[in-house]
């Protein structure tokens, strides 16, 4: 009988020692399993993001170089104020006008991606900035009309805001146009 009681005592002591010592280990294992599940979720999310990036890059690489150049001309990725002035001068010369001056004003974009200078008639889409300019031209009405048609057909997106016409002492007309064109907004760090 004594042997049975001692055996039961040792078994009970072993069970108590087992659960007290391993309770902290089980808690740690449970914590590690939760971390593993969290990391697995992050890995799955990372794989999905990588697949999306690969798909977008694949789509981008399928666009021909000619099409990329056309998009860059329509909405340049860099502030090309000198190129804008040269383009306006070329359009004016082709139409028979004289470009007297060009003033370019860059507009800023707010943190929300909305253009701060956007008026009530519309807003600039996210990822684009407005570049406002004023150009002073002189010549005949027919030449100015031709200039506006060429400006409309050019690849660079341009929105006329205001046109003022005055006559000069030499008999030619003076045209002052205020317009907006666009460029890609610089990328911001996330």
**Each residue of 156-176: pLDDT tens digit?**
888 999 999 999 777 789 999
The overall average pLDDT reported for the chain is 83
Residue 168 lies in a domain: yes
Do 54 and 100 belong together in one domain?
no
Residue 131 lies in a domain: yes
More confident residue, 63 or 43: 43
Do 39 and 129 belong together in one domain?
no
Task: Give the integer Cα–Cα distance in Å for 127 and 55.
Answer: 20
Choice among 2-11, 26-35, 63-72, 90-99 with the minimum mean pLDDT: 63-72
- Per-residue pLDDT at 136: 95
Q: Averaged over 44-67, what is the pLDDT?
A: 90
- Per-residue pLDDT at 68: 80
Q: Which domain holds residue 90?
A: 75-184
State which of 39, 62, 85 marks the end of a domain: 62
Q: Averaged over 48-74, what is the pLDDT?
A: 86
Share of the chain above pLDDT 70, in %: 86
Tell me the CATH number at 168: 3.30.70.60
Residue 174 lies in a domain: yes
- Per-residue pLDDT at 23: 80
**Each residue of 95-137: pLDDT tens digit?**
999 999 999 886 655 344 444 444 444 566 567 788 889 999 9
Task: Give the integer Cα–Cα distance in Å for 125 and 65.
Answer: 24
- Per-residue pLDDT at 36: 92
Do 95 and 152 belong together in one domain?
yes
pLDDT band at residue 182, thresholds of 50, 70 and 90? Answer: confident
Residue 70 lies in a domain: no
CB 75 within 8 A of CB 125: no
- Measured in degrees and rounded to the nearest 5, phi and psi for residue 164 equal -120, 135
Do 37 and 81 belong together in one domain?
no
Q: How many independent structural domains does the chain possess?
A: 2
Do 162 and 98 belong together in one domain?
yes
Do 127 and 170 belong together in one domain?
yes
Do 118 and 148 belong together in one domain?
yes
Do 79 and 44 belong together in one domain?
no
Q: Give the pTM.
A: 0.57
SS (H, E, C) the chain: CHHHHHHHHHHHHHHHHHHHHHHHHHHHHHHHHHHHHHHHHHHHHHHHHHHHHHHHHHHHHHCCHHHHHHHHHHCCCCCCHHHHHHHHHHHHHHHCCEEEEEEEEECCECCCCCECCCCCCCCCCCCEEEEEEEEEEEECHHHHHHHHHHHHHCCCCEEEEEEEEEECCCCCEEEEEEEEEEEECCCCCC
More confident residue, 128 or 10: 10
Do 50 and 95 belong together in one domain?
no
Do 80 and 164 belong together in one domain?
yes
**Each residue of 24-54: pLDDT tens digit?**
888 888 899 999 999 999 999 999 999 999 9
Do 52 and 81 belong together in one domain?
no
Do 156 and 116 belong together in one domain?
yes
């Amino acid at each position: 009988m004594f042997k049975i009681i001692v055996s039961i005592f040792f078994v009970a002591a072993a069970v108590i020692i087992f659960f007290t010592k391993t309770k902290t280990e089980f808690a740690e294992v449970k914590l590690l399993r939760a971390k593993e599940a969290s990391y697995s979720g992050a890995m799955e999310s990372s794989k999905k993001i990588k697949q999306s990036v690969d798909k977008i890059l694949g789509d981008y690489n399928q666009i021909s170089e000619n099409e990329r150049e056309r998009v860059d001309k329509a909405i340049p990725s860099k502030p090309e104020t000198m190129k804008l002035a040269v383009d306006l001068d070329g359009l004016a010369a082709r139409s028979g006008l004289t470009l007297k001056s060009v003033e370019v004003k860059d507009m800023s974009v707010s943190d929300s991606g909305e253009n701060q200078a956007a008026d009530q008639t519309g807003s600039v889409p996210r990822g684009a900035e407005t570049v406002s300019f004023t150009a002073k031209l002189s010549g005949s009405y027919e030449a100015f009309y031709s200039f506006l048609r060429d400006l409309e057909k050019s690849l660079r997106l341009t929105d006329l805001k205001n046109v003022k016409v005055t006559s000069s002492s030499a008999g030619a007309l003076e045209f002052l146009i205020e317009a907006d064109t666009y460029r890609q907004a610089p990328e911001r760090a996330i």
